[in-house]
Each structure stands twice: as C-alpha cells, then as structure tokens.
Amino acid sequence: MSECTHDCSSCGESCGERQSPQIEKEALHAGASVKRVIAVVSGKGGVGKSLVTGLMAAKLQREGFSAAILDADITGPSIPRVFGLSDRAMGAEGAILPVESATGVQVMSLNLLLENPEDPVAWRGPVIAGAVKQFWTDVLWKDVDFMFVDMPPGTGDVPLTVFQSLPLDGIIVVTSPQELVGMIVEKAVRMANLMHVPVLALVENMSYYECPDCGARHAIFGESRAEELARRYGIPQVARLPIDPAIPAGCDAGQVEKLESPWLDDLAGWLIRLFMNHTHQ
C-alpha cells in the first residue's frame, strides 16, 4: 500500500481513513438569508408530520423568531391548507416571493403556484426533486431564523434530495404509538446517520387521550414507546402530542397558528438555545 495522500477521490483503497465524497449543497438566492434548516420526517404517511411542522413554525414565530416552511411534500402538500393560505406566490427581483401567513410565517408550497390547488401533480421523481431544489435556490427567503422542511414520508427521491442538497442542521422524526414505529424510526435514524445529519427530536403524535372530566390519560393506540426509542437511538428530545379533536378541526379551518401547543414548548426552547448564530448564505 502506497503512502496516503489524503485525496480519497484518486485512491482505490478501502482503508479506515476513507471518506465519502462531499456533495455540494445548493446555494440560496443571493438576496435570501436562512439561519437554521430542520427537516420534519416520518417513515409513513398520516402520522402528523405537517401538523408538527406547522405547530413548530407557528410557535417559534410567536416567540419572536422569523419562521419559514419549505413544503417538500410536492404531491401531497397540506401546509397551505393548515395555514389558511389562498394567495398565489408571486415573482419579483428574479425570484419567487414566499407567501406569508397571518402571523408572518413564510411559506413556499407547490399549491401556492398552481392555478387550481386541487389539480394532481403527476410528475416523475427527478422533476419533483428539481422543484424542491428550486424552493431553496429561487425563493427570496427573508431573514429566516428557523426553516422547517415538511418532507414526504419514506426515504425516496425527495428526502434524498433534501438531505443531499440543503444544509440541514438536523431532523425531527414524527411517529405514532404503534408496533411498527420502532422499525420506522430506525429507518429515519439510519438515513440521517448515512447523511451525517443529527436527529434532534422524536415527536410522538396521537400519544394519548386525556379525559376532559377527570384528567385521566388513555393510550388509545397503544402505550407510548417514545422515551424507549429515544434512548435506544440516542435522540436528545422527546415530545408527545395528545389526541385532541380541536387539533384537526383547527387545521381543517386553516387556523393552525391559533392552536395552543404546550407539548412542544420544551422542544422549541431547546432548539432556540441550541441554534442561533450561524447563517447559510
């Protein structure tokens, strides 16, 4: 074996020092500014990923930070609906302007570009992945402190594109208390580890139902495994959201910003303390 030059790109050896090739991240629009980027992921659909995305963005906006949502769920975008957005995104200064919610959360979603939001998006994977990149490179994000990326479920083209193209500071994994969540969480954690992105938190949605009369908690979908899974995979933060009819009702009415979410207070406070001094340019 010849002397190591530390240039892995020109070496055929598989030694312990070998490093994966660095993938170039996509650049923001020249006039945009985003400090922190956090992807919200799930291994399966219907567990409340968009709900958690919306609640976290709304909460940090209320705390005085500038929050934004990049809706990467191109074929099933729900963020505009939960925020009650109907205005179309407009172009200016050679860029696309995000639509602002009632409290100022900046949002970019494919539904904000379609003439009819009900039209299906019958695109192949590479086209969808390209649209997600454009939401990062061509949108004039203004002084964003926290951007949340609402990901489609699974580990397909779009999640891979986000992991490779956007400078993620971490991910939040959303699950529900069912038998398969262990496998689902493990898939998300392994993908994050493969891409060298930290797993910041595990949020268990539909964790319990709290009786409004006596306050007793009932595990409708099975006993919570959130803390157990967090310990197993070394996830530093855990949050549990209850089954509450007011939550889907508020989202259906486009009023996610008016929902109280005390269950996410600790996670939001931890993110604020953890991040706040670095800007992606």
Residues 222-239: pLDDT tens digits? 888 889 889 999 999 999
| Single pTM value for the model | 0.87
Q: What is the pLDDT of residues 137-177, one digit of tens each?
A: 999 999 999 999 999 887 677 888 899 999 999 999 998 88
Does residue 69 surpass a pLDDT of 50? Answer: yes
| pLDDT, position 119 | 61
| pLDDT, position 281 | 54
Does residue 4 surpass a pLDDT of 70? Answer: no
Beta-bridge partner residues of 95: 92
| pLDDT, position 222 | 84
Q: What is the pLDDT of residues 92-109, one digit of tens each?
A: 878 999 999 999 999 999
Does residue 202 surpass a pLDDT of 60? Answer: yes
| pLDDT, position 123 | 66
Does residue 61 surpass a pLDDT of 90? Answer: yes
| pLDDT, position 17 | 45
State mean pLDDT over 262-281. Answer: 85
Does residue 213 surpass a pLDDT of 80? Answer: yes
Residue-range domains of the chain with CATH: 27-274 (3.40.50.300)
pLDDT level of residue 183 (50, 70, 90 thresholds): confident
